[in-house]
Structure 1
Amino acid sequence: MKLNLLGILSLTLFAGACSNHASTAAFSYADTVFTQDYSVKYLADEGQQGIFRRVHTDREGKVQVLAVDGLKQPSNGHFLYPGHIVADHSYRFMSAKHLVDMAVCKGQLIYLDSHVIFSNAWSGRLSIEHQLANPTAFAVNDSLEFLVTDGEQVHFIDDNAVKWKGEVPGGKVLQLISHPSDHTFFFVLTPESIYRFSAVTHQLEKMHGGSGFTSADVDARNNQLVVGTSDGYFKYSLEERQVKGGLNRQLPWTDIGVVRVIDGTYWFGTDRGAFAVREDGKIDYYAGKRWLPDDLVTDIARGAGQSVLLLTQSGLASIHFKPMTLLDKAMYYERQVRERHIRNGFNATLTGMTGGDVSTGYLGDSDNDGLWTSLYLAAEAFRYATTGEQQALDICMESLDAMARLYDVNPVPGFPARSFERRGSGDTRPMLSDPERWQLAEHPDWYWKATTSSDEAIGHIFAFGVVAELVDHRETREKAIRLIDTLMGHIVKNDLYLVDYDGKPTTWGRWNPEYVNAFPTNVGDRKLNASNIIAMLQTAYHFTGKPIYKEKAFDLMENHGYLENLLRPMDEIGKAAEHADDWSRMLSGAWNHSDDEMYFAGYWGLYRYAFNDTLKAQYKDAILDHWEAERPEKEGAWNIFTAITGTDHFDRDEAIWYLKEYPLDLIQWTMHNSHRQDIAPLPPNFRNQTTEEVLPPDELKISRHNANRFILDGGSDGTAENSAGDIWLFPYWMGRYLGVIEAPINE
């Protein structure tokens, strides 16, 4: 009978709470197509590293790699599943040629060998003796005129014959370049000079002198050369015959080895990866094994379709640029979670991988299985409330069942385990994370994990509240309400503590005033714990109607200063004084980003289930104050969360930027950025904000919402793949439900 009454009450509350749905529609993002980049990699076999010289694509999309020992081609690569570089036997007699360079003209591949310039296109008719004993490089224009060099001499070829021979002063020719739209000129690059050769007058003239030149290409749209050096790059106007804007050193890495201009974007290859400078001046950095086989880039070329090829010493990366909507991206991530990240109903990490190979991993346990699953559960509840899709409801039911088992797998009434796992054969606890925390369950085949923390508790109450409010399915909603009552009943009965199997409060499950108010007012845990417990009690009262939860909340706010605690401005939070106790000083050494996650998870129940409008207005001020402190991180979840207050000022564009820029590849690759010259470092500070501007998510290590997005270096060399369930699907579907993000126009 009690469940029926709870169900009836929840139906009434469901109708009322949903009035906030799409309240921010006037400020919503229209989900139109954007460009999503991702990498398909092709790896060299052992012993082949360092032999790759050049890469090109012909008009049919065939990719060829010129190596020291002949022609190669990429084979059988897919996103997340690297292919290989293998020998190209398409033209078997090519193996007799001693190839030193290749180029593309009119979409066809042309080769330079020790005797001739030739091609297999045009019926094989192109075959011209260049008359150089040891050629090193050549260039061709669309008139099928050629410039070829041995590093000192230069020969010009027209109408299948050598028409001019000359020497470059000082020698050391690095590169020959044709002008893609003006066929009357070629350019010759040496370490100290840029020369122009006229195909009409056969004159070689020096245009510009300097030092440290390494590579160049023509920007035809602006009629200028883009010249890479060992210390940055510069642009040289071919019309004005002068450098424009000086040397640009605000780059990820300034020692440039390769320059290519592709569709108006400047691409640079270095020994620290590649980067693209877009026409608007924004930089996209491609480094680390998320993007490349290795970071020593030896060549760059246009790929087939919307792609760019980055050749490195140990393989090839094809960077694809795919038109997608945010919904397209969401559906890809939905598949990723279902295929590789569900463990006993939990939203789990694939771990124990070797070199980023997802087929080598296993589903690992976590201290926070309940928390990460809470966020995934909330995501699918938002999805179901928005779309009504049966799959979303099925996932909600599965995830909620896993959460429910946390409460009945252990012997303590109302106490949620952190996780549970099978025993296997013998005592397998040493195979689990934190083996000392695992306890034997009553069932002979299971362990459960103890020492549950406050971040688990607030995550549970948040997700259960979202399900109870938004999932229009009686059994599921009643189950969520029962779990809210179960957890909060335990906490209230135990004097606002989480009490473990040993009869003692867990280290972090403490909301009692004696604990909370023992902290100095500027220590974040005092504000956080007060904010969380009031949110939890409000949620419990909202869905169960039990007076004890409301009475306890008002007692804390009116008699123990919890309202003052939770409303304390964020700019007052900092390090405890030197004379403070050790615990306070330890907890306040720096900004805690896990606390941010706990705050915002609590804000759902704090604001939406406020006891009255006066409190709701005060809560809104506290949420917006916290959001102001978070703004530099451009954290998608916290920006979207802030929209629950109805404000029209919540950095919507930054939230969309976060969702677009998060990489499709969620493998924990090691990423390095601290060497970059294009970031402005900040001195050490309490928030551990290392730079003025946060880098895009696809240039950083994979991080959950409880991490500092200003950490420049990190990762684990491809040993794990994170689930998109909590990282990306949670903010996206919350944004869809709140009306921050619209459905695609063609949905």
Structure 2
Amino acid sequence: MKKILLSVLWLIPLLPAIRAQAQQPVHYDKPFEQEHSIKYEWSQAGQPLVAAAADRNGKIQVVAGSGLLHPNDGEFLFPGNLIADNSYRFMKDKAIKRVLQYDGQLVYLSDKVVFSNAWAGKLYVEHGLKNAALFDGGQDFQFMVSDGKSLHFIKDSQTLWKGSLKSDEVIGVRYQKNANAFWILGKSTLHVFSPASRSLSQVFKGANFTSFDVAPAKNRVIIGTSDGYIAYNISTGEQDGPVNKRLPWTEINSVAQIGEKTWFGTTRGAFALRKDGKFDYYNGERWILDNNVRSVSPGPENSVLLLTPNGLTRLVFRKWTLQEKAAFYDRQVRSRHIRNGFNSTLSGMQKGNVNTGYLDDSDNDGLWTSMYLGGEAFRYSVTRDPEALENCRESLDAMERLYSINPVPGFPARSFERTGHMKELSDPERWQRSAHPDWDWKSTTSSDEAIGHIFVFGVLAELIDDEDIRSRSITLIDTLMNHIISNNMYLIDFDGKPTQWGKWHPDYVNSFPVSVGDRKLNSSNIVAMLQTAYHFTKKEKYKAKAFELMHKNGYFENLMRPMETIGKTADADELSKVLSDGWNHSDDEMYFLGYWGLYRYAFNDTLKTHYKKAIIDHFEAERPEKEGLWNIFTALTGTNDFDLK
């Protein structure tokens, strides 16, 4: 569906022109927040990663068993790695156990001291715990340090208080600034320490605690466990309800309050609890290097750092407009998805590294390129960007060659590729030799390719004010539709037989029960295609055939049939059962691409009114998905009732 997205995003600015038909809601392109991940791999599995932090300058450091690390390279979709941080040479001999951000600066815990390179290096506080592993900073450079057994409250190399948790092990320390209090988590107890009175009090007891953080705005302490989390109410001193287990995953490793969200690192990814009570869940290599998230911490520039055994993931929350997002996708397509002018899939990537992939062929090279080309046409129509126009020319060249690369008049190939590699291509049995010595072409073209072609050729002919592009597009519309009409409403392949899916003849279309979607779909598509052909060529044969199919062969009734009638068909032939086995979004894609020509190029206003009803009926069935293509192509009818969010 990403290929559709680019087309739709560039179509949005056309809505004001459409709105002239009626007072429709309008999209105002305001920045919105969307996240992406940047990954930094760690290859030394024997050296565990302990903690990550960032200072106010954006510098990120990671504590590992081998010393300090920092990110190297890395950007969205281009993984970097973690390497030794040698930027300050004299940190190498420090046995650093943990790092945190304090007052915007990086502060370190070693086996001897709490120290920093900020504040002219003046922070240097001995703590007296050889195996110190946990700490946090309070007001005026006071720190609470623990080795899991003992607790030392220190300042200026003085130990102001010593203590421990009776019959429990310290696993976490957090400072609450607005209360001037240190919270201490054990495996089964929660304590609070008052720096003012230098007293430690147990306030809560439970079991299987793993991590925690303080949520001051909620006046809660959030305690992660091996099976859910507990919300401890600071005001009442009581637990809020039962353990929360209705979560994306309940085995919690880490808790962090970052801004208004409470973050949880688990053994199966990370998730954030939002203000509205819903979760944002990040799981799998699309988002993180591995799912065992051991630590969550705030990162620079509105980001979140997720530490796992295999490295560091930085979730970046960026604000951008839809136009900026469309431009981003366009750059992405141009840099790595153009093959012979087609919009192609990048396959064979290793762990999402786009530099390791290759451009692959597809059954639907023509369809995907049609949608991409439509997007560039919309872009040019709105922005007049010469780059968009050049992109249109390049992809139109590829689409046009689909018709000349094979020997069948008016027949579009699915794709073409350099000769000598059929066995390496998908469906090698479908590939045929071309008359050209260096090229092969793919046969068996289907109806989804055909509707994609007619859709985009119509868009180009209507919206692009370049006479060469316009005339070539109209010629291609005429070429394909003449082939279909001349061959009794079939796509006829090199072997003289109809392709498996290129069939619009009534004997085929009306052979399906009315509940099978292909009966409605093929009727809707072919009427749209014939209307488009007539609109641009004014050849009466296209108009006559459309009315013949609609009135003599029931295609109008077919295309107007409500979506609620489409479903499984038990008492039918095997093909009908297969086609009605489940909802097919590929069919939805074909419907909505066809609606461009069905509605915009309707023969008369009466038909246009009926078509609008059919389109809106389909939209209502799809509406819960909030898909951009369904919404915007429905808006083309002038209705006020569609979604902009």
TM-score (norm 2): 0.94
Counterpart amino acid of 1:652?
A: L
Q: Residue 71 of structure 2 is aligned with which of 67, 70, 74?
A: 74
Q: Residue 36 of structure 1 is aligned with which of 17, 34, 53?
A: 34
Q: Residue 459 of structure 2 is aligned with which of 453, 466, 469?
A: 466
Listed as ranges, the matches of 1:533-682 within 5 Å are: 533-578=526-571, 580-653=572-645
Q: CA deviation at 1:340?
A: 1.1
- What is the aligned partner in structure 1 of residue 339 from structure 2? 343
Listed as ranges, the matches of 1:275-674 within 5 Å are: 275-423=271-419, 427-578=420-571, 580-653=572-645
CA distance in 1, matches of 2:131, 2:451: 72
Q: CA deviation at 1:306?
A: 2.0
CA distance in 1, matches of 2:112, 2:175: 21
**Matched-pair contact (CA < 8 Å) for 2:125–2:155:** no
Counterpart amino acid of 1:110?
A: V
CA distance in 1, matches of 2:56, 2:504: 67
Cα distance change of structure 1 residues 479 and 25 upon mapping to structure 2, 3 Å threshold: farther
CA distance in 2, matches of 1:22, 1:360: 48
Secondary structure at 1:261's aligned position in 2? strand
Counterpart amino acid of 2:343?
A: N
Bigger mean CA offset, 236-245 vs 302-311: 236-245
Task: State the Cα deviation string for residues 275-294 of structure 1 (Å, max 9, x = none).
Answer: 12222333222222222221
**Matched-pair contact (CA < 8 Å) for 2:380–2:386:** yes
Secondary structure at 1:155's aligned position in 2? strand
Counterpart amino acid of 1:252?
A: P
Q: Residue 239 of structure 1 is aligned with which of 235, 250, 255?
A: 235
CA distance in 1, matches of 2:227, 2:525: 52
- What is the aligned partner in structure 2 of residue 194 from structure 1? 190
Secondary structure at 2:170's aligned position in 1? coil
Cα distance change of structure 1 residues 440 and 24 upon mapping to structure 2, 3 Å threshold: farther
Secondary structure at 1:529's aligned position in 2? helix
- What is the aligned partner in structure 2 of residue 147 from structure 1? 144
Bigger mean CA offset, 556-565 vs 131-140: 131-140
- What is the aligned partner in structure 2 of residue 679 from structure 1? none
Listed as ranges, the matches of 1:165-244 within 5 Å are: 165-183=162-180, 185-244=181-240
Task: State the Cα deviation string for residues 250-307 of structure 1 (Å, max 9, x = none).
Answer: 3221211111111222111112111122223332222222222211111122212222
1:52 and 2:49 are equivalent in the alignment: yes
Q: CA deviation at 1:190?
A: 1.3
**Matched-pair contact (CA < 8 Å) for 1:24–1:643:** no
Task: State the Cα deviation string for residues 162-183 of structure 1 (Å, max 9, x = none).
Answer: 1222221222111011113332
Bigger mean CA offset, 234-243 vs 388-397: 234-243
- What is the aligned partner in structure 2 of residue 661 from structure 1? none
Q: CA deviation at 1:48?
A: 3.3
Counterpart amino acid of 2:67?
A: G
1:83 and 2:76 are equivalent in the alignment: no
**Matched-pair contact (CA < 8 Å) for 2:561–2:614:** yes
**Matched-pair contact (CA < 8 Å) for 2:23–2:640:** no
Q: CA deviation at 1:509?
A: 0.3
**Matched-pair contact (CA < 8 Å) for 1:49–1:313:** no
Cα distance change of structure 1 residues 479 and 18 upon mapping to structure 2, 3 Å threshold: farther
Q: CA deviation at 1:136?
A: 2.7
Cα distance change of structure 1 residues 369 and 89 upon mapping to structure 2, 3 Å threshold: same
**TM-align CA RMSD:** 1.9
CA distance in 1, matches of 2:99, 2:434: 67
Secondary structure at 1:332's aligned position in 2? helix
- What is the aligned partner in structure 2 of residue 118 from structure 1? 115
Secondary structure at 2:639's aligned position in 1? coil
How many pairs align? 631
Q: Residue 97 of structure 1 is aligned with which of 94, 102, 124?
A: 94
Counterpart amino acid of 1:545?
A: K
Uncovered stretches (5+) of structure 2, i.e. residues with no partner: 1-14
**Matched-pair contact (CA < 8 Å) for 2:529–2:597:** yes
CA distance in 1, matches of 2:502, 2:189: 69
CA distance in 2, matches of 1:49, 1:634: 46
Secondary structure at 1:645's aligned position in 2? coil
Cα distance change of structure 1 residues 451 and 246 upon mapping to structure 2, 3 Å threshold: same
Task: State the Cα deviation string for residues 438-488 of structure 1 (Å, max 9, x = none).
Answer: 111111111011000000001111111111111122221111111111101
Q: CA deviation at 1:91?
A: 4.0
CA distance in 2, matches of 1:600, 1:120: 61
Counterpart amino acid of 1:131?
A: G
CA distance in 2, matches of 1:48, 1:91: 25
CA distance in 2, matches of 1:63, 1:547: 69
**Matched-pair contact (CA < 8 Å) for 2:41–2:81:** yes
Uncovered stretches (5+) of structure 1, i.e. residues with no partner: 1-16, 654-747
Q: CA deviation at 1:246?
A: 4.4
**Matched-pair contact (CA < 8 Å) for 1:105–1:140:** yes
CA distance in 1, matches of 2:257, 2:47: 24
**Matched-pair contact (CA < 8 Å) for 1:49–1:315:** no
Task: State the Cα deviation string for residues 41-69 of structure 1 (Å, max 9, x = none).
Answer: 11113x33660000111232221111122
Q: CA deviation at 1:429?
A: 0.7
Cα distance change of structure 1 residues 497 and 513 upon mapping to structure 2, 3 Å threshold: same
Counterpart amino acid of 2:472?
A: K
> Which structure has more strand as a fraction of its residues?
2
Task: State the Cα deviation string for residues 648-683 of structure 1 (Å, max 9, x = none).
Answer: 111221xxxxxxxxxxxxxxxxxxxxxxxxxxxxxx
Cα distance change of structure 1 residues 91 and 507 upon mapping to structure 2, 3 Å threshold: same
* Higher RCO structure, 1 or 2 (CA under 8 Å, sep 6+): 1
CA distance in 1, matches of 2:386, 2:186: 65
**Matched-pair contact (CA < 8 Å) for 2:47–2:66:** no
Q: CA deviation at 1:122?
A: 3.2
Counterpart amino acid of 2:134?
A: A
CA distance in 1, matches of 2:211, 2:402: 61
Cα distance change of structure 1 residues 24 and 140 upon mapping to structure 2, 3 Å threshold: farther
**Matched-pair contact (CA < 8 Å) for 1:354–1:361:** yes
TM-score (norm 1): 0.82
Secondary structure at 2:243's aligned position in 1? strand
Q: CA deviation at 1:535?
A: 0.8
Secondary structure at 1:507's aligned position in 2? strand
Bigger mean CA offset, 134-143 vs 625-634: 134-143
Cα distance change of structure 1 residues 237 and 148 upon mapping to structure 2, 3 Å threshold: same
Secondary structure at 2:483's aligned position in 1? helix
Q: CA deviation at 1:124?
A: 3.3
Counterpart amino acid of 2:298?
A: R
- What is the aligned partner in structure 2 of residue 157 from structure 1? 154
**Matched-pair contact (CA < 8 Å) for 2:124–2:156:** no
- What is the aligned partner in structure 2 of residue 130 from structure 1? 127
Cα distance change of structure 1 residues 314 and 24 upon mapping to structure 2, 3 Å threshold: farther
Counterpart amino acid of 1:221?
A: A
Q: CA deviation at 1:529?
A: 0.8
Cα distance change of structure 1 residues 25 and 272 upon mapping to structure 2, 3 Å threshold: farther
CA distance in 1, matches of 2:538, 2:121: 85
CA distance in 1, matches of 2:602, 2:372: 24
Q: CA deviation at 1:638?
A: 1.1
CA distance in 2, matches of 1:191, 1:420: 64
CA distance in 1, matches of 2:477, 2:234: 71
Bigger mean CA offset, 225-234 vs 515-524: 225-234
Q: CA deviation at 1:502?
A: 0.5
- What is the aligned partner in structure 1 of residue 11 from structure 2? none
